[in-house]
Amino acid sequence: MNGFVIVGTDTDAGKTTFSLLFLTAFADQFDYWKPVETGDPDSLRVRRLVPGVTVHEPLARFHDPVAPSLAARREGKTMPGVAEIVAAIPTTSKPLLIETFGGPLSPLMDDVLQIELIRAFNRPVVLVTSSAVGAVGRTLATVKAIGAFGVQPVAIVLLGPPDPFAVEQIEKHTGGGSVICLQAPDGEWTEDVLARVTAEERGELSRISEALDKTFSAGVAKNTPHPVHFVNHPLPQGQRVFSSPSPLAGEGGSRSEPGEGLAFNTSSKGYEPLELIKRDRSTIWHPYTSLADPNDPLPVIAADREFLHLADGRTLIDAVSSWWTILHGHRHPPLMDALTTAANTLDHVLFAGVTHPPAIELAELLLASAPWAGGRVFFSDNGSTAVEVALKMAYQFWCHRGESDRTLFVGFENGYHGDTFGAMAVGRDPLFFGTFEPLLFRAIQVPVSAVCLEVALSTHPGQVAAVILEPLVQGASGMQMHTPAELRAIFEVAKRHNVLFIADEVMTGCRTGQRWAHQHADITPDLICSAKTLTGGILPLAATLASPEIVAEFQTLDRAKTFFHGHSFTANPLACAVAVRNWRLLAGDHWRTDTTRIEAFWQTHLAPLRDRTGVKDVRIRGTIAAIELNVSGGYLAEIGPRIRQLAISRGVLLRPLGSVVYTMPPLCTSEESLHLIVQTMIDSINLLPT
């Protein structure tokens, strides 16, 4: 038996529902493949609800829930033809359950109906429809229509409440074939619900399996009595079509826009996984990774939306937004379009004594979002350099005011601001930076508390240049969180003591439902650091926003008071052009809608885990969710690498911060992907010793 094809009488007939029930019953006997997906990915739903089954990646995936030919047209791509799809049938050791889309006469391409593909699969067909009113007419019309193409179903499934009359009439008019009624699960679908319903319907599901076995034993597996003539529109060899997820970007949304579908090359030429890993192992030193790490790096060769595609054919959900950088989704079409357009004009130019339109426009957009009127933007390369700039500006500000004794900075416990020396000094993490302690300048760390800051500043009057804090969420320490009220109180203490306040928004920018996390507390920092999501994660770029008060101290013709800092790629035009487009998208509300959607999902599915044995805390803010496990070891907790490997096996990329399992997915992430992330995080709790 080489598998079978599921065909529906029409859209929403219940094809995926049937697939889930059948695969739950026979997960160890079948693989699943839906070659063309439109709308929310059914393959992810199957992967989430039937984790024991092998789910093969679709050949083409589009966002709009319409006919593939129309979806492809809207997204500027050509649908693969019948021959391409048939050639892409996965090689499996088990029979393959192939799920089709829409109805059999739905257009596959502009001049080809899906029935031609169904014939070409050359496998038995199971026809699925709803048992709702009209089931008899729908079913008989479909049977007659596909019969004209030489296709006859081996079984007909009525999904919904049993209807003996419909069964009687369909059997009567189709020659007495197998007509089977199956109940669909009610309410929210989970593995447990599916298992229960499948157990109740086991007898009916077995009848379908028996009908399929009977078909093969009789040697009548073929559906096509005459040769199939393919109408082909070939894609380049090794290419698969994927689209980004929404037509909303033209309105400033966080998803893609029509006419901008994406494709990537998955040809094995040059992408042999083991060879890539071997070459990597002999040449590359990875960040925050032991050179003796027993786990091989993941060979990623392409990405789209929330997905990373590996050289070995696997696809992972990027649940951590590639170290918190990817905002809307991988290769977000409006941003890729901005990059392409910019690359046709200007690649790079030095920024000392030179300017260019993308940098000017980006600076204007950034300052328009700041809590003050005026100010300046200083561009750099990454979050750590944005912080270095802020620290140097803060100290030089006081030097220009004749207070050069202000050589002390105040950071906060669990803070992380980067890996360059100034950033290390105000972070002071003993594990990460203890080796370099003798080389770091003066800084003290206090708990995230206005009371504690009051004590520190009172103890060191006139000595502190600035206070620096990641507003609302301290990322690298395990997504530690504090309230807007506490943030505001801390800011007010700094202002009472005439100390500058630096908001390190490198990670928190655009992650909490506001462009800047400090906006939740209605405060006015003196310096704001931005990086990771500044370009939507497409290219490296950072910015330090300086308030008018800071700028005023540097507005002098005395060249000795120049801010002597700069990088070769300061304000790279390509990165600035992408950031401009990103910041324009953020002027709309669609990204906030996605943030609210994701945060609500975490609150519904993760917040209740606070009462779970082994869970120390659950923290949620915007798109960020973290589960702190009650185990020892901190960042070096042994469970961290085990969770990462578990997640990869489930199709999810997580990078636990030791005992803290967190997620921060791109805004485009579908509900199915969110479900899979949640289930994987829940499963990580089960790794705890009992």
Catalytic annotation, pick one of 15, 34, 77, 532: 532
Beta strands in 498-548 (DSSP E): 500-504, 527-530, 542-546
Q: Are 489 and 372 in contact (CB under 8 A)?
A: no
Q: Which of 263, 270, 319, 330 lies closest to 59 in space, CA to CA?
A: 263
The yes-or-no answer on residue 395 being catalytic is no
Residue with tokens 């038996």: 1
94 is catalytic: no
Rounded to whole angstroms, the Cα distance separating 254 from 328 reads 5
Strands across the sheet with 660-663, in order? 615-621, 624-629, 660-663
Give yes or no: 532 in active site: yes
Q: Please answer whether residues 661 and 629 qualify as being in contact, where contact means their C-beta atoms are separated by less than 8 angstroms.
A: yes
Contact 211, 102 (CB under 8 A): no
Longest Cα pair distance anywhere in the chain, in angstroms? 98
> Catalytic residue among 64, 318, 381, 504, which?
504
d(CA 198, CA 185): 9
Say how far apart CA 300 and CA 591 lie, in whole Å: 27
Residue 591, CA distances (Å) to 256, 264, 404, 542, 585 in order: 12, 26, 43, 21, 8
At 440, the amino acid letter reads L
Which residues, 6+ apart, have CB-to-CB distance to 470 below 8 Å? 415, 416, 417, 504, 505, 506, 507, 508, 517
Secondary structure class of 217 (helix, strand, coil): helix
Residue pair 86/228 in contact (Cβ under 8 Å)? The answer is: no
3-state SS record for 664-680: CCCCCCCHHHHHHHHHH
Q: Find the catalytic residue in 172, 278, 288, 405.
A: 288
Q: Which tokens go with 674? A: 């969110």
| Active site annotation includes 504 | yes
102, 8 Cβ separation under 8 angstroms: yes
| H helices present in 88-243, as ranges | 114-121, 135-147, 164-174, 191-200, 202-217
Q: Distance between alpha carbon 615 and the CA centroid of its chain, in Å? A: 25
Give, in order, the Cα–Cα distances in Å from 56 to each of 27, 53, 90, 194.
14, 10, 7, 21
Distance from C-alpha of 543 to C-alpha of 368, rounded to nearest angstrom: 14
Of 64, 416, 429, 594, the active-site residue reads 416
Residues 6+ apart with CB under 8 A from 193: 185, 187
CA 11 to chain centre: 27
> Which sequence positions are flagged as catalytic?
288, 416, 504, 532
